[in-house]
């Protein structure tokens, strides 16, 4: 397994992380993701560790805490062999303070996650979304104390706008708080908006990307293509509206290119889609999902080899879109002093 520096930190993470949104499986969204129980989760962790995949990502919102509990049980007795990342901020109750990044909620959320995970520290703690109603300094000061207490080792964000993250980084610098080193973000061959604002920011500020939904919300599995019915087990039946919108024609064009590269390389469509992500600037780790051993082993085959520059160019061209303002303007006018990272 290849390990990369997580942003501007001394922390090395494997280029693949196992996402645990499939663990437990409570509720409509998470039930459609997967319903992995402790025994199966333990087996998945075994396979991961055999392959050097040591990082596991969860969130307090996944299956109402169930995912963290299953993960905690699955790694029991081998906490020192694994890296745990999790997230908080989305509502965990109906009360006015049962969500957000306030000192009140974050303090309670971290304690609750530690308990469910059965550990005394979280290696990477990410704010799951930007809370516009809490001053960025309040969240940073709270996280600073949690780091000082040894409960959290590194901090990151998720689903932030560029200016949200930049504002927080500047505030951290100004007051001497730990900087966010990770941005858990959606990025895929059928969702390249990350490249417009967040990638240049990540490069400039040393924030590593922890990529979620690298297969475009279950679309780049190799089972979805022009003229083929959606497989019965696809989570898209129930959850398409909650994920990134992807026009069908665009999806098919990208899948056609993936199919062509699959034929050349002898790899599967998801393996190629994941390998492509690992060639992109700023990407520290890609979060893979697996409902079963076979999916996990297939995804693990995404590393240990590399697409050629020509193959990457083919995939880049098939997935290219015109960016929105101000990015198209920046590409049309002033690339000499503000070049694109990709």
Q: Which residues bind another protein (CB under 8 A)?
A: 89-91, 99-100, 129-134, 159-163, 165-167, 170-171, 173-174, 185-186, 191, 193-194, 196-198, 200-201, 204, 242, 244-245, 322, 324-330, 332-334, 336-339
Q: At which residue do the structure tokens 């993960």 appear?
A: 71
Among residues 48, 51, 54, which one has the least CA distance to residue 13? 54
* Bridge partners, residue 271, by sequence: none
CA distance 278 to 272: 10
3-state SS, 76-108, equals CCCHHHCEEEEEECCCCCCCCCCCCCCHHHHHH
Task: Considering the candidates 62, 154, 160, 187, report the single residue annotated as catalytic.
Answer: 62
Least Cβ distance, residue 170 to another protein (angstroms)? 3
- Check if 62 is active-site: yes
Output the smallest distance, CB 327 to another protein, in A.
7
Residue 30 or 194: the one with the smaller Cβ distance to another protein is 194
Nearer Cβ to another protein, position 42 or 330?
A: 330
| DSSP classification of residue 57 | E
Minimum distance of another protein from residue 87's CB (angstroms):
13
Which residue, 33 or 130, is less far from another protein as judged by CB? 130
Considering the complex, what minimum distance in angstroms separates the CB of residue 288 from another protein?
Answer: 19
Q: Which residues of 105-143 are buried (b: 16+ CB within 10 A; e: fewer)?
A: bbeebbeebbebbebebbbbbbbbbbbeebebebbbbbb
Nearer to another protein, 8 or 174 (CB): 174
Q: Output the six-digit token pair for 293.
A: 């051993």
Catalytically active residues, by annotation: 62
């Amino acid at each position: 397994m290849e390990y990369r520096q997580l942003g501007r930190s001394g922390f090395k993470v494997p280029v693949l992380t196992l996402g645990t949104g499939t663990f437990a499986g409570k509720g409509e969204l998470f039930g459609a993701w997967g319903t992995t129980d402790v025994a199966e989760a333990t087996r998945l962790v075994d396979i991961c560790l055999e392959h050097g995949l040591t990082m596991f990502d969860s969130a307090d919102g996944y299956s109402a805490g169930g995912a963290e509990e299953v993960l905690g049980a699955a790694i029991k007795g081998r906490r020192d062999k694994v890296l745990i990342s999790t997230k908080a901020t989305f509502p965990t109750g109906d009360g006015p303070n049962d969500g957000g990044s306030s000192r009140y909620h974050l303090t309670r959320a971290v304690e609750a996650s530690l308990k469910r995970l059965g550990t005394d520290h979280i290696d990477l703690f990410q704010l799951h979304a930007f809370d516009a109603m809490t001053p960025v300094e309040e969240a940073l000061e709270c996280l600073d104390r949690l780091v000082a207490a040894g409960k959290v080792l590194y901090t990151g964000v998720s689903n932030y706008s560029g200016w949200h993250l930049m504002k927080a980084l500047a505030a951290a610098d100004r007051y001497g708080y730990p900087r966010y080193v990770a941005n858990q973000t959606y990025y895929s061959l059928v969702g390249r908006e990350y490249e417009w604002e967040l990638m240049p920011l990540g490069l400039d500020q040393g924030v590593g990307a922890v990529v979620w939904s690298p297969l475009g919300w279950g679309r780049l599995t190799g089972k979805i293509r022009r003229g083929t019915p959606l497989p019965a087990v696809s989570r898209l039946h129930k959850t398409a509206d909650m994920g990134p919108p992807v026009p069908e024609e665009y999806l098919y064009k990208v899948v056609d290119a993936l199919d062509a590269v699959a034929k050349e390389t002898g790899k599967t469509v998801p393996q190629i889609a994941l390998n492509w992500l690992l060639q992109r600037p700023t990407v520290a780790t890609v979060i893979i999902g697996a409902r079963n051993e076979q999916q996990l082993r297939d995804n693990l085959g995404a590393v240990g080899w590399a697409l050629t520059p020509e193959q990457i160019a083919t995939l880049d061209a098939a997935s290219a879109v015109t960016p929105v303002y101000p990015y198209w303007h920046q590409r049309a006018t002033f690339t000499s002093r503000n070049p694109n990272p990709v």
